[in-house]
Structure 1
Amino acid sequence: MIVDRVDEQGLTARLDRLAGLLTDTVGSGASVGFLAPLGHAQAVAWWRGRVAEVAAGRLAVWVAREGERVTGTVSLALPDKPNSRHRAELVKLMVAREARGRGLGRGLLATAEEAAAAAGITLLHLDTETGSPAEHLYRSAGWTRAGTIPDYAADPGGELRPTTLYFKRVGALAGAG
């Protein structure tokens, strides 16, 4: 398994395979911002929309692959406001169904956390569907629950579900309160 941070050219070259991962993730019931069924063309268009964000340095994307097959991804959304450059949002952690249960999600999470710390980011935050398998991953990886918002987003089936907010200190402040 290889995990690489991709630039805009790398992202563009993998649009089709990343779209396949996104449709697989939504098809498995994961709440990552889309309703089912998610069409391949819609997934390609969504990923294509991320290329400019990567090029501008507002989004960092890592792709896990076995050969040319994309098995997972994770991203960090980087704020551009002067008062928030110490933090980033962890977004779109996805693992292909056939690659689940082998530690890839935990590995991608660690990759993003380590890269954030190396870049001087000291605080990460995320939101995830309350009660989802992802919530267990974040808790077991040392993330702190900040609270829950009811009826925050629709799951892939269209049902409104609560989301739980998490944060984690990384880098220089990892040991601080």
Structure 2
Amino acid sequence: MIRVLNYEDAGSSLLPLAEILTDCVNDGASVGFMAPCEWQGFIPYWNRVFNEVERGDTALLVAEHNGEIVGTAQLGLAQMPNQPHRADLKKLLIHRKARGLGLARKLMEAVEEEARNKRKTLICLDTATGSPAEAIYTHLGWERVGVIPNYALYPDGSPCATTLFYKGL
């Protein structure tokens, strides 16, 4: 099941969201954080996201399996005045224990639906080049723009290229 969380629901989802992010970073996902890490270190990050949800700047979606939150995606809605039609996918995270269940696809379909509901006609994202996520976005019909070498670091500190994608709605 996929849900869009409101501010009240987001706060009560702190622990599973922190655990998902911890699992992904410790598994090598280049999502802005370094390994090794513990879930407690992500509390300030998630509190910032919850504040963005409260302001309406971010839509926070979760994927549940067997009643447990095991995946999440964020859709950044706040843009500059000349980009009211655009949103950014900020994070797509699936806990290792829930991979292979089609939840990434379901989350991305829900992200696109939420973007349409917010009158967005374009979504942009970046992802680690060569990552499983890159293959998912390609499979789901996202347009590959190009690659930026040495854009970020993997959690182990090694350099990471990023691939840029967009999708018109």
Alignment of 1:37-56 (within 5 A): 37-56=36-55
Q: Which residue of 2 aligns with 1:100?
A: 99
Deviations 1:105-141 (A, max 9, x none): 0110110011112221000000000010100000010
Alignment of 1:104-115 (within 5 A): 104-115=103-114
* Contact residue 128 and residue 164 of structure 1 kept, 8 A: yes
Q: Which residue of 1 aligns with 2:15?
A: 16
Alignment of 1:58-73 (within 5 A): 58-73=57-72
| Secondary structure, aligned partner of 1:102 | coil
Q: Any runs of at least 4 consecutive aligned residues in structure 1 with deviations exceeding 4 A, and if so which?
A: none
| Secondary structure, aligned partner of 1:115 | helix
Give unmatched runs, 5+ long, in structure 1.
171-177
Aligned-partner residue type, residue 93 of structure 1: L
Structure 1 residue 133 and structure 2 residue 132: aligned? yes
* Contact residue 16 and residue 70 of structure 2 kept, 8 A: no
Deviations 1:122-177 (A, max 9, x none): 0000000001010000001000111111100001111111101000001xxxxxxx
1:42 to partner: Cα distance: 1.0
Moved more, 57-66 or 127-136: 57-66
| Secondary structure, aligned partner of 1:83 | coil
| CA distance in 1: counterparts of 2:117 and 2:68, whole angstroms | 28
* Contact residue 18 and residue 44 of structure 1 kept, 8 A: no
| CA distance in 2: counterparts of 1:40 and 1:47, whole angstroms | 10
Give unmatched runs, 5+ long, in structure 2.
none
Aligned-partner residue type, residue 7 of structure 1: N
| CA distance in 1: counterparts of 2:91 and 2:9, whole angstroms | 17
1:83 to partner: Cα distance: 1.1
Moved more, 64-73 or 40-49: 64-73
Q: Which residue of 2 aligns with 1:167?
A: 166
Q: Which residue of 2 aligns with 1:173?
A: none
1:67 to partner: Cα distance: 4.8
| CA distance in 2: counterparts of 1:28 and 1:14, whole angstroms | 21
Change (3 A) 1:147 1:157: same
| CA distance in 2: counterparts of 1:48 and 1:79, whole angstroms | 17
Aligned-partner residue type, residue 166 of structure 1: F
* Contact residue 74 and residue 108 of structure 1 kept, 8 A: yes
The alignment yields a C-alpha RMSD, in angstroms, of 1.1
| Secondary structure, aligned partner of 2:101 | coil
Q: Which residue of 2 aligns with 1:117?
A: 116
Q: Which residue of 1 aligns with 2:146?
A: 147
* TM-score, normalised via structure 2 length: 0.96
Aligned-partner residue type, residue 127 of structure 2: T
